[in-house]
Copies of this chain bind each other. A is one copy, B any other.
Amino acid sequence: MKNEINIGLLGFGVVGSGVAKILQNHQDDLRHKLGVPVVIKKVLVKDLHKKRETILSSEIFTNDLNEVLGDPSIDLIVEVIGGTSEAKKAIESSLRAGKGVVTANKDVMAVSGLELLKLADENKCDLFYEASVGGGIPLIRTLEDGLASDRISALTGIVNGTTNFILTKMKHDKMTYEDALAEATALGFAEADPSADVDGIDAARKMVILASLSFSTEVLLEDVFVRGMKEIKEGDLELAEQFGYTVKLAGSAKKDEEGIEVAVEPVLFPNSHPLASVNNEFNAVYIYGDAVGETMFYGPGAGSLPTATSVTGDIVAACRNLLLGVNGKRLHAPQYARKVKSDSKKFARYFHRIRVKDEVGVLTKLTSIYSDYDASLATVIQHPDKKEAGADLIFITHKISRQQHLDIVKKLNETPEVIGVLSHYRVEGEE
């Protein structure tokens, strides 16, 4: 029986320093839980001379990965470097050196998750990645253990805190997108280059991780239909509000006999939907299980200590396994072959905002287009506020396929009476 667990911490940024803080502050509790102390033995950083506020001794800092991996007393590697190639290599080297890994790296796990989990299995090591999705919310563990006996059929979630913060500020404080983004950046919620967040790429990576685990199948990033924040046009938020909806950049994943579908896009949620009131930098994921029905998990989607809580939760799990000698005993091979639905098999309601020339007969012309594509309409409204350059027509369809929706939008844009389809959204949660 080991009398302590030694950790090699790769990276000492926002998350890494949070991990060190939690391990320090909750030392007694962790020791009570595990029976032995958990000690940070080495910390890998780029710049050894950078000034850091930490109680860790400067002697344990190194800029040489081999010094960490080569230390036989180190049992577990915690990868919080971020980025892709360097982090992936570090994870691979750790696993090959027989050391378990805890990572917060969604970029690596989304693209190389199955490959790395296989490598972990081969090397009889644990590879835990709770912090890669949903910050402090224990989502991965819930899907793996809590709902282990259920069959997940769908999940919908707000998994990017930056864009949710921006949308909340735009809706509640009537900020412009630019001002809201600037505030998110100032508060540390947005990166210097926010494109991965606002273009939906970050959320898409997280949905790949969640969908792959929920459906026990391989999911590629290219399988995700992605539309980002720029698809939200001026006036859309107010317009949605008038119809009783809230716009969220949401991820969704579904599985049925036809295969899986995964998307990240701006979605209209009815205001009564619990995800409509998830605000600011918070994340929440709705999970639908065949037996359990609907469940929701809500919490801080980012931030130093929340994310570090997930990392240290994984550290506790990995330590338990190490102490029991059962590390690396869970096999991760997916149960089902990858099968992705075509757009003609994905069904939803759609909201179309169409700017038209103010001419006689335009409404009849447009409704006939919907008929031509076999799409029935739930709502048709001529929006009264915008009359200068033309009028805005709002159409909300009954359930149609994404293919029908895309065909209709294309056809509308080619119609002479139409100035343009200003915006279009999937509508969540109602018939």
Chain A residues engaging chain B, CB cutoff 8 angstroms:
18, 22-23, 25-26, 28-30, 32-33, 35, 130, 136-138, 141-142, 145-151, 216, 274, 277, 284, 289-300, 303, 305-306, 308-310, 312-313, 315-317, 320, 324, 326, 329-331, 335
Contact = CB atoms under 8 A, between A and B. Distances in A.
A289 B309 contact: yes
A251 B320 CA distance: 32
Contact of A149 (B30, B289, B291, B294): B30
Given A277-B274, A292-B306, A141 B145 contact: yes
B305 A335 contact: no
19 contacts: A22-B150, A26-B291, A30-B149, A33-B148, A130-B146, A136-B292, A138-B145, A141-B146, A146-B310, A147-B309, A148-B316, A289-B309, A292-B299, A292-B305, A293-B300, A296-B299, A297-B297, A297-B298, A324-B324
A28 B335 CA distance: 9
A312 to B, nearest CB: 3
A329 B324 contact: yes
A26 B149 contact: yes
Nearest to A282: B294
A313 B26 contact: no
B335 A29 contact: yes
A293 B138 contact: no
A292 B274 contact: no
A37 to B, nearest CB: 14
* Chain copies in complex: 2
Contacts of A30: 149
B299 A148 contact: no
A29 B151 contact: yes
Contact of A313 (B25, B35, B147): B147
A398 to B, nearest CB: 26
A294 B305 contact: no
Contacts of A23: 149
Contacts of A312: 148-150, 291
Given A142-B146, A145-B145, 16 more contacts: A23-B149, A26-B149, A26-B150, A138-B147, A141-B141, A141-B146, A148-B316, A277-B277, A284-B296, A291-B309, A293-B303, A295-B299, A296-B299, A297-B297, A297-B298, A298-B298
A35 B324 CA distance: 20
Contacts of A308: 291
A146 B298 CA distance: 13
A136 B299 contact: no
A147 B314 CA distance: 9
A324 B30 CA distance: 23
Contacts of A335: 28-29, 32
B26 A309 contact: no
A87 to B, nearest CB: 22
Nearest to A140: B146
Contacts of A18: 291
Contacts of A148: 33, 312-313, 316-317
A216 B32 contact: yes
Contacts of A306: 291-293
Contact of A295 (B136, B290, B324): B136
A30 to B, nearest CB: 6
Given A296-B299, A317-B145, A309 B150 contact: yes
A149 B313 contact: yes
Contacts of A296: 284, 296-299
A213 to B, nearest CB: 12
Which of A150, A294, A297 has its CB near the most chain B CB atoms (within 10 A)?
A150
